[in-house]
Structure 1
Amino acid sequence: MKEAIKKKVLDLGADVCGFAGIERFIEAPAGFHPYDLYRDCQVVVVMGFALPKGLYEVKPDLLYGYFNNLTIPKIDQILMMAARIIEDTYNATAVPVPCDWPYDYWNSEEMEGRGLISMKHAAVNAGLGTMGKNTMLLNEAFGNRLTVGAILSDLKITSDSYAEPLCLEGCTRCLTSCPAQALNEGTVTQKLCRRNTYGTNAKGFETVLCNTCRSVCPVRFGKTTVIG
């Protein structure tokens, strides 16, 4: 069953797919556990779609920002289609969870938002990667280029093995390169990051002015493409 579902997800256009049993979410904070959305959840099916490498080689404001935003509806569409396939094929329940927005939690003073569940932690629990010092998911094949979404299901499927860490020992490039000094190893001050990153141009189009922590990472393109 696991391999059949994974093949369907990849056939729908995802680049990666992994499985995390509900027992792996024991450390999820209250209000952000899969149980808080779907009480009968037994497994979280996690999938991701990768940005093209070329978007890291150009000024980020329009090109990177535009296509990075496009990955959100892309992965959400895959989630919805995969959920239907799981339900129709296995007579199961499958709850797709938006990969980014909408969400409820917002601290206006700190400009801090939180997704319905942490997709990055779900991906780590499903063996799709490890967390980088800049708090981004690092995947062996796709580096930090993945946008991740998840499906909660009552199917009983074993978890995939955890991934090996990818952050290079002693590397602090993302931390020291952050123009807003928003990163502290393993955490990010969203207020500082948001104020430095998001804006609009003269025409009113949304812009992303900074993706430094992504673009300076030596393993941004994956384990086999370590860039000095």
Structure 2
Amino acid sequence: MPARFISLEGGEGVGKSTQAKALAAALREQGLDVVLTREPGGSPGAEAIRALLLGGEQDRWGPRAETLLFAAARSDHLDKTIRPALARGAWVVCDRFVDSSIAYQGADGLGEDAIRALHQVGSEGMLPDRTFLLALETATATAREDERDAGQVDRFGMRDLTYRAHVAANFEKLAIADPVRWRIIDASGAPADVTARLMAALADYL
């Protein structure tokens, strides 16, 4: 079975990290070699940049500086983790990828074209084979976020509802524009039900 690169996207509180872990486990039950990873992070260098990006006050970085840091982390992540895994035939399940930069830094006013151009330079324009957008009403996602311990909330989780709504709209726009790569998944209900929806949306690969 060919190696596949799968990413999960969405705003704060939609359950990406939970579903990335569950999806990786479900795929392993199918007998696949699966690498579970995340952005920013996924390699030693990228994890060091993650600490810079997610910690501190909301205004620690401007949108251009943020985008450059994300791009640097992504380049290292691809070189050290994602490409080697795919080369040996493993599947890669990634919690966020370049689409998050487009959605989040795009919400800060940085143009999509600029982010894609930087991705072309830093990561040769590489995209996942399939990207899942976990869709959940903003109010429900926010309620989930509010249940987290304060120490688990990063710079992006601190931002207001207007910003979150803009991010959600950006993700939806990306998914609608590229239905070949994207699948929109209802993220409401029990986690196991969401995982089942993800697996059903991978049936053509399995």
Q: Which has the higher helix share?
A: 2
Q: Do they fold alike, i.e. is TM over 0.5? A: no
Higher strand share: 1
Q: TM-score, normalised by structure 1?
A: 0.29
- TM value normalised by structure 2: 0.31
Please identify the structure whose Cα radius of gyration is greater.
1
